[in-house]
Amino acid sequence: MPRQITAFSNPLVKSVRLLREKRHRREQGRFLAEGLRILTEALDAGCLPETIFYAVDSARHPLVVRLVAAVEQAGGEAIETSRDILHKLSGKDNPQTVLGVYAEFTLPLAALDRSTAPIWLVAQSLRDPGNLGTILRTGDAVGAGGLILIDDCVDPFSVEAVRASMGALFTQSIAAATWPEFVAWLRGGAGQLVGLSLDTDHDYQAPRYAAPTFLLVGNEAQGLPAEYAAECDLLVKMPMLGKADSLNAAVATAVMAYEVLNQRRRVPDPA
């Protein structure tokens, strides 16, 4: 049976609230996700929170009932509480009706199977959590195998990144590595590394991309370091017909990912 928490001073409330900060997420190995849509997407992807908080006035909602039952059946804990406490946990003025506490699940490169998908997304020193979340959504949309974070990227488990992913965080494998680690792993098997860069004359629609294609996007402000670009099998850029010199990192990744996907869709199936 779910238990009720009504006091802001409750130790569990204090502990979960700290997960909004990166240091405490790292210490606890836990993160927050909120909203019926995101928690249901996670459930459908086979991911359950260790603890679920839900507003007392939403207790009869069919999706809340489903989530609570799944969490309790798996040995987790369901907490019925007030919207004021949900506000304290999430930091939002208009908190969602449910919030879950999940274990972090970043993978080592060795755990990735590159043969499982024709497209993989790679981000280097990405700084904006909204961009990271959007790139995860793109990965889900194009059937990518996952997202590989290179060097010092924004935390994929920050509240902002989780929100921006709209549940795609739970459908994509996420790995983190240094650049040398990534290059050594990549060159140990099949894979074409394609960098998005302004310092090239190659139009993004001109090449024929080989599977698995690893699409590499750099930092929002600096782009790819020269030595990283030099390691790529191919550098491509998108035409910019206006005054802006480049696209947003997440938008550029989406355009490239769909170009690779569409090339594969146009190839007829073997008879």
> What pLDDT is attached to residue 2?
76
Could you read off the pLDDT of 86-110 as tens digits, one per residue? 988 988 777 788 999 999 999 999 9
Q: What is the pLDDT of residues 196-254, one digit of tens each?
A: 998 899 999 999 999 999 999 999 999 999 999 999 999 999 888 887 767 799 999 99
How big is the CA angle at 224 (ends 212 and 254), to the nearest 5 degrees?
50
Question: Where does the pLDDT of residue 266 fall: very low under 50, low under 70, confident under 90, or very high at 90 and above?
Answer: confident
Closest to 204 in 3D by CA, of 231, 239, 228: 239
Q: What is the mean pLDDT of residues 52-57?
A: 94
Q: pLDDT at position 240, please?
A: 80
Tell me the sheet residues that pair with 102: 31
Burial class (CB in 10 A: 0-12, 13-18, 19+), 235: buried
Residue 25 dihedral angles phi and psi, to the nearest 5°: -60, -45
Q: Delineate the domains of the chain, giving CATH numbers in brackets.
A: 3-103 (3.30.1330.30), 109-266 (3.40.1280.10)
pLDDT at 267 over 80: no
pTM of the model: 0.91
The percent of residues above 70 in pLDDT, for the chain, comes to 97
In this structure, are residues 95 and 87 in contact, taking their beta carbons and an 8 Å threshold? yes
- How far apart CA 122 and CA 132 sit, in angstroms, is 11
Q: Looking at residue 141, what is its pLDDT?
A: 97
Residue 74 tokens read as: 């798996």
Whether the pLDDT of residue 19 is over 80: the answer is yes
Q: Which amino acid is at 87?
A: H
Please report, in angstroms and rounded to a whole number, the separation of the first and last CA atoms in the chain. 56
Look at residue 268 in the predicted model and tell me its pLDDT: 58
In the predicted structure, residue 269 carries a pLDDT above the cut 60 = no
CA distance 172 to 175: 10
| pLDDT value, residue 8 | 86
**Model confidence pLDDT, tens digit, residues 130-172:** 999 999 999 999 999 999 999 999 999 999 999 999 999 999 9
- The pLDDT of residue 51: 97
pLDDT at 44 over 60: yes
Q: How confident is the model at residue 271 (pLDDT cuts 50, 70, 90)?
A: very low
- In tens, the pLDDT along 65-89 reads 999 999 999 999 999 999 999 988 9
